[in-house]
Amino acid sequence: MKQYLSHPVFSIISDISNKMNTPSFVIGGFVRDILLKRPSKDIDIVVLGSGIELAEKTAAHLDRNIKVHVFRNFGTAMFSYNDIEFEFVGARKESYRNNSRKPIVEDGTIADDQNRRDFTINALAISLNKKDYGQLIDPFNGILDIENKIIRTPLEPENTFSDDPLRMLRAIRFATQLSFDIETNTFDAINKNTKRLSIISKERIVDELNKIILSQKPSIGFNLLDKSEILDMVFPQLNALKGIEVIGKNTHKDNFYHTLEVLDNIALKSDNLWLRWAALLHDIAKPATKKFEKDIGWTFHGHEFVGSKMIPAIFRQLSLPLNEKMKYVAKLVQLHLRPIALSEESVTDSAIRRLLFEAREDIDDLMLLCEADISSKNAKKVNRYINNFRIVRKKLVEIEEKDRLRNWQPPISGEDIMKTFNINPSHEVGLIKTAIREAILDGIINNNYSEAYEYMLEKGKKLGLIPK
Ligand code: ATP
Ligand code: MG
């Protein structure tokens, strides 16, 4: 495995730990990722001795200016060097109590340290010691599991998950990121321990959800969350999208699978986490708005508005940030039917202007979301949508070039109106401003100062105002 230790820091660590007489090993995610040829940005070093001391000596040797962050309580130290995070920790043995994922920790051997790892593929270590530098230490056949694409716990899975239930989500997250299967016993143990997730903080849960969402094919993870019944615990609103109801000949699509399809579609087009969240949430209000109407069948009227209103509570519940990202998601959910409605009517300039005006700088993301939303199996229908979207996109470019509505600012301000007619802030000012905006959106006037000025005079006159 020496070929994998090409980073110059490894031989430095080896020299220093040899001098300190404290054996050290590279362990965990970094070893897994080099074998999988995945890029990795953090390197974990386990030391049979003081991780803090080894970190400080290594950093000092590399560059006196490196800042070493020491966490005495955990016996760990980390520093960053050439964009890579190095974390040093003393080898430890862990034992868990029932009600916490915080273990009792004692010093341990390298084997103890490997025993406390979550999965066989994460328990691989490579020696940095003089006598066997580069040797792989693989007590649980992690290499074989990498080859066979299997997620499996090193020890009894029931204990592994009961000790630290976050590992259940990590299992599903790795299965999604790596396209691995979760070994049967391991998955059964997840099924038995889902309730234990209640001791895990929301922040840690949502970190794992985000990693699933950012994977190449997020549906793998959500299907596993569903199968293990974790979905209902951590995200009941998404779980509620499942199922199909039939009345007579009237049926509707399963909105859970549809949503996963849309999420996978968008994942092919964009790495934007929040656009992916918008895809996951675009139909979230379908259960709340579902109705059976006698002559029409199943309807979900207004689900885009109701869904958009549900976003803040969902973000709070999942501990997602309550900031402009949340507003962006709410906006995309609210607008997600607009382009498709456009393409079903004739695509008028004024409809396009209104869409641009509302979506603003998020118009491109909205178009991606709408295109991802096509999940019909009917090729004719799909072609018609794609064709219509092509027309919408072309028109969007034309209208934006002409009217510049993406970053629209009213060409005439409230101040301008008050000065022109020598009036105070009043209802009339608002009326004129709205009238100008509507005239621009309807294409009655162009989006520029002089046409808006003329229009203001006209509108003012109708309201009995006289320019001074
Ligand atoms: P990523 O960096 O992609 O999140 P990773 O496996 O490197 O994945 P880290 O959180 O960086 O995860 O952890 C590094 C290593 O620490 C893991 O490979 C694993 O060996 C161990 N580890 C992390 N979290 C746990 C856990 N909850 N239980 C047991 N071992 C863990
Ligand atoms: Mg890592």
Specify the number of domains making up the chain.
3
- Residue 409, domain member (yes or no): no
Distances (CA, A) of 1 to 100, 117, 140, 395, 451: 37, 21, 17, 57, 73
- For residue range 400-428, what is the model confidence (pLDDT) as tens digits? 998 888 888 899 999 999 999 999 999 99
Angle value at C-alpha 329, between 324 and 335, nearest 5 degrees: 120
Domain boundary residue among 94, 116, 148? 148
Question: Cβ(152)–Cβ(183) under 8 Å?
Answer: yes
Closest CA to 230 of 172, 180, 281: 172
pLDDT tens for each residue of 37-78 = 999 889 999 999 999 999 999 999 999 999 999 999 989 999
In the reported structure, the alpha carbon of residue 44 is separated from the centroid of ligand 2 by a whole-number distance in angstroms of 8
What tokens were used for 348?
A: 């008028």
Residue that the structure tokens 């709340």 belong to:
288
Distances (CA, A) of 314 to 235, 308, 310: 9, 10, 6
Q: Is the CB of 349 under 6 A from ligand 1?
A: no
Indicate if 135 and 6 belong to the same structural domain: yes
Residue 253 in domain:
no
DSSP 346: -
Calculate ∠ Cα 233-174-108, nearest 5°.
100
- Counting ligand 1 atoms within 8 A of each CB, the residue from 36, 38, 169, 170 with the most, and so the one to mutate, is 170
CA 216 from chain center: how many Å?
11
Distance, CA of 86 to CA of 89 (rounded, Å)? 10
DSSP class per residue in 62-79: H-TTPPPEEEGGGTEEEE
Instruction: Tell me, yes or no, whether 79 and 22 share the same domain.
Output: yes
> Are both 19 and 130 inside the same structural domain?
yes
Shared-domain flag, residues 87 and 162: no
Higher pLDDT: 383 or 344? It is 383
What are the structure tokens assigned to 406, written together? 């993406």
Tell me, yes or no, whether 180 lies in a domain: yes
Token couple for 147: 């080859």
Indicate whether 341 belongs to any domain: no
pLDDT in tens, 288-312: 999 998 888 999 999 999 999 999 9
166 Cβ below 6 A of ligand 1: yes
Residues 42 and 11 in one domain: yes
236 pLDDT more than 90? yes
pLDDT in tens, 433-442: 999 999 999 9
At residue 376, what is the residue type? S
* pLDDT score at 3: 81
* Same domain, yes or no: 118 and 181: no
**Residue 384 — pLDDT band, cuts 50, 70, 90?**
confident
Left, alpha or beta for 458 (phi > 0: left; psi -120 to 50: alpha)? alpha
Residues 6 and 142 in one domain: yes
Residues 167 and 71 in one domain: no
Percent of the chain with pLDDT over 90: 82
Ligand 1 pocket check for 117: Cβ under 6 Å:
yes
What CATH number does residue 214 fall under? 1.10.110.30
Average pLDDT on 243-260 reads: 91
Domain annotation covers residue 323: no
Considering the domain architecture, whether residues 136 and 175 belong to the same structural domain is answered as no
For residue 100, is pLDDT > 80?
no
State the distance from the centre of ligand 2 to the C-alpha of 198, rounded, in angstroms.
Answer: 24
Judge if 160 and 140 occupy the same domain.
no
Mean pLDDT within 79-99: 91
Q: Is residue 155 part of a domain?
A: yes
Q: What is the pTM of this model?
A: 0.92
Same structural domain for residues 51 and 117? yes
Q: What is the CA radius of gyration of the chain?
A: 29
Based on the domain organization, do 45 and 174 belong to the same domain? Answer: no
* Mean residue pLDDT across the chain: 94
Does residue 1 have a pLDDT over 90?
no
Is position 214 within any domain? yes
* Domain assignment present for 275: no
Q: Where are the beta strands (DSSP E) in 103-236?
A: 104-107, 125-127, 136-137, 150-151, 181-182
Contact residues for 380 (Cβ-Cβ < 8 A; gap 6+) = none
Range of the domain at 40: 2-148
pLDDT at 405: 86
Q: End of a domain among 125, 148, 171?
A: 148
Q: Is the CB of 33 under 6 A from ligand 1?
A: no
pLDDT at 344 exceeding the cut of 80: no
Nearest CA to ligand 1 atom 7: 29
pLDDT digits (tens, 9 = 90+) for 69-88: 999 998 999 999 999 999 99
- pLDDT for 345: 62
User: Last residue of some domain: 216, 234, 252?
Assistant: 234
Q: Are 411 and 448 in contact (CB under 8 A)?
A: yes
Task: Please determine, for residue 343, whether its predicted confidence score (pLDDT) is greater than 80.
Answer: no
